[in-house]
Amino acid sequence: MYTLWIANKNYSSWSLRPWILLKALDIPFNEQLSYFENGKSSHEKFKAFSPTGRVPCLIDGEITVWDSLAIAEYIAEDHAQVWPLDKTAKAWARSAAAEMHSSFATLRQVCAMNCSIRIELDEITPELQRDIDRIDALWTEGLTKFGGKWLAGDKFTAVDAFYAPVAFRAQTYGLKLSVISQGWIDRMLKLPAMMEWVEASVKEPKVTH
């Protein structure tokens, strides 16, 4: 069985991606949670199980897979439902997940994931608005083009998992998106696995990192 190393559910957006993917697809795994160090880097602590000193990190017997995107692709080798089966939807989903993985620096920095609180932003800078607008356009495209309740069709796939932290960010910071995108956020926030993540996150020790 897979072992997935993650950090605090309240803060670790990268941990959420493979965790929600495995949960939503009902793929069994052992969760190993290692809390962030308070006020200092967690690199040394995480080096005990992760070659980069970062989470998430997946262990499958002798095999170690680090980095959320590589983990999703590794799981997909044995579980085809990780990506849409349709070739067009799969190409779109992979591109959108890769875009999340490599972009949206302003959103990530200004709206850091913090599931348990609500924050009113003083201003939405043009850079932040650009990230929000791109995500809104991307979600709208997926939801209309593939016509399902999830981003790339009628089944939850890795592209939904990759944007899961944005659903929490939208809730925490009250971000305004189109009605169609807000519909996806509402469905995500009601997923039993997302609710389980939040429930655990509020019980965790708070840290500054």
Ligand X SMILES: N[C@@H](CCC(=O)N[C@@H](CS)C(=O)NCC(=O)O)C(=O)O
Chain residues binding ligand X by CB under 6 A are 7, 12-15, 41-43, 46, 54-56, 67-69, 209
Cβ nearer to ligand X, comparing 29 with 46: 46
Nearest approach in angstroms of CB 135 to ligand X is: 17
Cβ nearer to ligand X, comparing 97 with 143: 97
Packing angle between helix 192-201 and helix 13-24, nearest 10 degrees?
140
Cβ nearer to ligand X, comparing 6 with 177: 6
Closest CA to 9 of 208, 198, 182, 187: 198
Nearest approach in angstroms of CB 18 to ligand X is: 8
Cβ nearer to ligand X, comparing 106 with 178: 106
Residue closest to ligand X when measured from CB atoms = 54
Nearest approach in angstroms of CB 27 to ligand X is: 18
Cβ nearer to ligand X, comparing 15 with 177: 15
Which residue blocks in the chain are alpha helix, DSSP H? 13-24, 43-46, 68-78, 87-102, 105-110, 126-145, 158-173, 179-190, 192-201
Nearest approach in angstroms of CB 126 to ligand X is: 26
32 Cβ neighbours under 8 A, 6+ residues apart: 3, 4, 5, 6, 49
Strands 2-6 and 57-60: antiparallel
Nearest approach in angstroms of CB 69 to ligand X is: 6
Closest CA to 208 of 53, 36, 19: 36
